[in-house]
Amino acid sequence: AGELRFVLYNLIKNSVHAMREGGKLAFETGETELGVYITVTDTGTGMDEETKERLLQPFFTTKGFDQGKGLGMSTSYAIVKEHGGKIYVKKTVLGKGTSIEIMLPHSKRKEKRLKDNVSGYEGSARVLWVDDEKVIRDIGKDMLGTLKHSADIAASGEEALSLLRNNQYDLMITDVGMPNMSGWQLAERIKGNYPEMKVAVVTGWGSDVSNEEKEKYGVGYVLGKPINMGQLKHMVGEVLQLKQK
Question: Can you give the pLDDT of all 245 residues of the chain as single tens digits?
Answer: 567 888 888 899 889 989 988 999 999 999 888 889 999 999 999 988 888 888 776 555 555 434 444 457 777 888 888 888 999 999 999 999 999 999 999 866 544 554 454 444 457 899 999 999 887 888 888 888 888 899 999 999 999 999 999 999 999 999 998 999 999 999 999 998 998 899 999 887 655 678 888 899 999 998 877 677 778 888 998 898 887 76
d(C-alpha 186, C-alpha 188), whole Å: 5
- Shared domain for 38 and 127, answered yes or no, is no
- Shared domain for 123 and 221, answered yes or no, is yes
The proportion of the chain whose per-residue pLDDT surpasses 70, expressed as a percent, equals: 84
- Shared domain for 130 and 91, answered yes or no, is no
Q: Is residue 137 included in any domain, yes or no?
A: yes
CA of 89: how far to CAs of 73, 78, 94, in Å?
Answer: 11, 15, 13
Long-range contacts at 23-29 (CB < 8 A, ≥ 24 apart): 23/97
Which letter does DSSP use for residue 206 in this model?
Answer: G
**Model pLDDT, residue 140:** 85
Count of the separate structural domains present in the chain: 2
Half-sphere exposure of 216 (CA within 13 A, CB side): 8
- Shared domain for 80 and 142, answered yes or no, is no
Q: Which of 79, 85, 88 is nearest to 56 (CA)?
A: 88
How do beta strands 25-32 and 35-42 pair? antiparallel
Q: Encode pLDDT of 24-41 as tens digits.
A: 999 999 988 888 999 999
**Model pLDDT, residue 39:** 95
Task: Give the DSSP per-residue string, 85-120.
Answer: -EEEEEEEETTTEEEEEEEEES-SHHHHHHHHHHTT
Predicted TM-score (pTM) of this structure: 0.62
The proportion of the chain whose per-residue pLDDT surpasses 90, expressed as a percent, equals: 43
Mean pLDDT in the chain?
83
CA of 166: how far to CAs of 39, 60, 160, 236, in Å?
Answer: 45, 40, 11, 22
- What are residue 126's DSSP bridge partners? 150
Q: Encode pLDDT of 96-132 as tens digits.
A: 999 999 999 986 654 455 445 444 445 789 999 999 9
- Shared domain for 64 and 143, answered yes or no, is no
**Model pLDDT, residue 107:** 65
3-state helix vs strand vs coil in the chain, percent to 5: 40, 25, 35
Q: Is residue 36 included in any domain, yes or no?
A: yes
Q: Which residues of 107-131 are buried (b: 16+ CB within 10 A; e: fewer)?
A: eeeeeebbeebeeeeeeebebbbbb
Q: Is residue 112 included in any domain, yes or no?
A: no
CATH number at residue 83: 3.30.565.10
| Contact yes or no for 218/190 (Cβ under 8 A) | yes
- What are residue 201's DSSP bridge partners? 174, 222
**Model pLDDT, residue 1:** 59
| Domain extent at residue 158 | 118-244
- Shared domain for 11 and 70, answered yes or no, is yes
Q: Which residues contact 241 (CB under 8 A, 6 or more apart)?
A: none
- Shared domain for 151 and 238, answered yes or no, is yes
